[in-house]
Amino acid sequence: MQVDATVQKAFEMACNAQKNAHAPYSNFKVGAAVKIKNSDKIYPGSNVENASYGATVCAERVAIWSSVAIEGKPEFESIVIVTDTDPAIGPCALCLQVFAEFCEPDFEIYLANPKGIQQKVLFKDLLPAPFSYIPDTPDSLK
Ligand code: THU
pLDDT at site 73 = 87
Question: Catalytic amino acids?
Answer: 60
Roughly how many angstroms between the first and final C-alpha of the chain, as a whole number?
Answer: 52
pLDDT by 10-residue block (mean), the chain, 142 residues: 95 98 98 96 98 98 97 94 97 97 96 98 97 86 83
pLDDT, residue 71, reads: 94
Q: What is the pLDDT of residue 134?
A: 82
Check: CB of residue 7 under 8 Å from CB of residue 117: yes
Of the candidates 11, 72, 19, 18, the one whose C-alpha atom is nearest the C-alpha of residue 42 is 11
- Mutate which of 58, 64, 94, 113 for ligand 1? The one with the most ligand atoms within 8 Å of its CB, which is 58
Q: Which helix (H) or strand (E) holds 116?
A: strand 116-122
Q: What is the model's pLDDT at position 138?
A: 83
Closest ligand 1 atom, residue 94 Cα: 6
CA-closest residue to ligand 1 atom 9:
58
Name residues whose C-beta falls within 8 Å of residue 62's C-beta, 6 or more positions apart in sequence. 32, 45, 46, 47, 48
Q: pTM (2 decimals)?
A: 0.94
18 lines ligand 1 (CB under 6 A): no
